[in-house]
């Protein structure tokens, strides 16, 4: 499968507003978060696009200025749409269909739990970055799991405490062995905000993410 952003045309001449219509970004799809949509196609920083409101079909102008995931909304319909923006010089941006938008943080920190042959284990996240993966001396993880089918230092979960609560962001670092969140495969470079109750699968190990107070 071709995962390159082959639609990039860095050599294109400067646009004339009259002759080059503003392109429409497609395709608008539902995300794993209820009521939130995402655009599959990435937007290039410095260009202008239209995105169709999934509710009424009217176009919203998108004008990305930074290579990050942005959120746009057609105000009358109140439907959030996530757009992944990339810079020509910076290839990796998260897949917008894997990003969730939180309205509020969690009240407690989170923990990971999973089954081993000797019983249920758990790991309370520390604030900041927590690497998780197969035990490997050359690529150590904060949480090492005994699973030969998982990659070493495969994912990073960042726990952030803010006045609005705790937020948790998972980034896939290595996916030589596939990584799944709630059954959806995430490739290296993908990021997703975690909610309590999410299931992360590394190798043959299913890890449940929950409140540390549970
Ligand atoms: Zn609308």
Residue 194 lies in domain: 110-211
pLDDT digits 0-9 by tens, 2-11? 444 444 444 4
Q: Are residues 145 and 198 in the same domain?
A: yes
Q: Separation of 134 CA from ligand 1 center, angstroms?
A: 46
Cα–Cα distance measured from residue 151 to residue 144, given in angstroms and rounded to the nearest whole number: 10
Q: What is the CATH number of the domain that holds 82?
A: 2.60.260
pLDDT digits 0-9 by tens, 136-151? 889 899 999 999 999 9
Is residue 35 in some structural domain? yes
Q: Judging by DSSP bridges, how do beta strands 184-186 and 24-25 pair with one another?
A: unpaired
pLDDT digits 0-9 by tens, 164-187? 889 888 888 888 888 998 888 888
Is residue 142 in some structural domain? yes
Q: Separation of 82 CA from ligand 1 center, angstroms?
A: 14
Q: Separation of 7 CA from ligand 1 center, angstroms?
A: 27
Q: Are residues 62 and 129 in the same domain?
A: no
Q: Are residues 131 and 206 in the same domain?
A: yes
Is residue 134 within 8 A of residue 173, CB to CB? The reply is no
Is residue 101 within 8 A of residue 44, CB to CB? The reply is no
Q: Are residues 120 and 76 in the same domain?
A: no
Q: Separation of 77 CA from ligand 1 center, angstroms?
A: 4
DSSP 90: B
Six-digit token string for 212: 């540390």
């Amino acid at each position: 499968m071709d995962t390159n952003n082959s639609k990039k045309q860095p050599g294109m001449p400067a646009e004339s507003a009259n002759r080059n219509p503003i392109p429409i970004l497609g395709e608008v799809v539902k995300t794993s978060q209820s009521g939130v949509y995402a655009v599959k196609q990435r937007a290039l920083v410095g260009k202008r696009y239209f995105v169709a409101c999934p509710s009424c079909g009217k176009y919203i102008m998108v004008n990305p200025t930074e290579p990050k995931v942005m959120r746009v909304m057609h105000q009358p319909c109140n439907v959030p749409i996530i757009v992944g923006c990339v810079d020509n010089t910076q290839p990796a941006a998260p897949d917008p269909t894997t990003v969730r938008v939180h309205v509020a943080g969690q009240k407690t920190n989170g923990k990971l739990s999973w089954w081993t042959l000797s019983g249920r284990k758990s790991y309370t996240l520390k604030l900041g970055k927590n690497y998780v993966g197969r035990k490997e001396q050359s690529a150590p993880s904060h949480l090492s799991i005994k699973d030969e089918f998982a990659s070493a230092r495969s994912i990073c979960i960042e726990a952030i405490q803010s006045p609005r609560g705790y937020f948790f962001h998972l980034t896939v670092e290595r996916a030589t062995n596939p990584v799944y969140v709630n059954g959806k495969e995430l490739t290296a470079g993908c990021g997703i905000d975690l909610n309590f109750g999410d299931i992360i699968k590394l190798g043959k190990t299913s890890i449940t993410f929950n409140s540390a107070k549970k």
